[in-house]
């Protein structure tokens, strides 16, 4: 299935392909403040519909995850990094998908605060 998503103002728009089977809620200092609910996909499943430079990037801690956000409205639609095996991944904020029922997927909790 192909999902469409965006930031609040629409400066960042994307499509992502896959089946959402769960969301991950992380309690690290960044995710807990953003309130994001993450779905991980291979980076090539994320297709930006707007220029890459429309999004700003924030990196912290170990500087391995590129937290992408809109410099206009401040919403964080996705992040980019490498998975445990080294493959390029995207972390999609499920809250930025259009017409998606968040209640339809189970939420897994990850203790990022202790990592």
Assessment of whether the complete model's pTM goes beyond 0.85: yes
User: Which domains are present in the chain?
Assistant: 2-114 (2.170.150.70)
Q: Is residue 80 very low, low, confident or very high in pLDDT (cuts 50, 70, 90)? A: very high
Q: What is the Cβ-side half-sphere exposure of residue 31, based on CA atoms within 13 angstroms?
A: 24
Length of the chain in terms of residues written: 115
Provide the pLDDT for residue 63: 83
CA distances from 44 to 8, 48, 109 (A): 23, 10, 25
User: CA 91 to CA 36: how far, in whole Å?
Assistant: 10
The position carrying tokens 């990037």 is 57
pLDDT tens, residue by residue, 41-53 = 999 999 999 999 9
pLDDT tens, residue by residue, 7-49 = 999 999 999 999 999 999 999 888 889 999 999 999 999 999 9
């Amino acid at each position: 299935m192909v999902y469409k998503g965006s930031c609040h103002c629409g400066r960042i728009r994307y499509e992502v392909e896959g089946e959402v089977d769960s969301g991950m809620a992380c309690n690290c200092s960044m995710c807990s403040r953003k309130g994001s609910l993450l779905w991980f996909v291979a980076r090539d499943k994320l297709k930006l519909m707007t220029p890459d430079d429309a999004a700003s990037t924030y990196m912290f801690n170990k500087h391995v995850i590129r937290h992408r956000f809109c410099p206009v409205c401040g919403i964080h639609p996705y992040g980019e990094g490498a998975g445990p095996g080294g493959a390029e991944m995207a972390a999609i904020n499920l809250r930025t998908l259009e017409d998606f029922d968040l209640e339809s997927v189970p939420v897994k909790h990850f203790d990022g605060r202790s990592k």
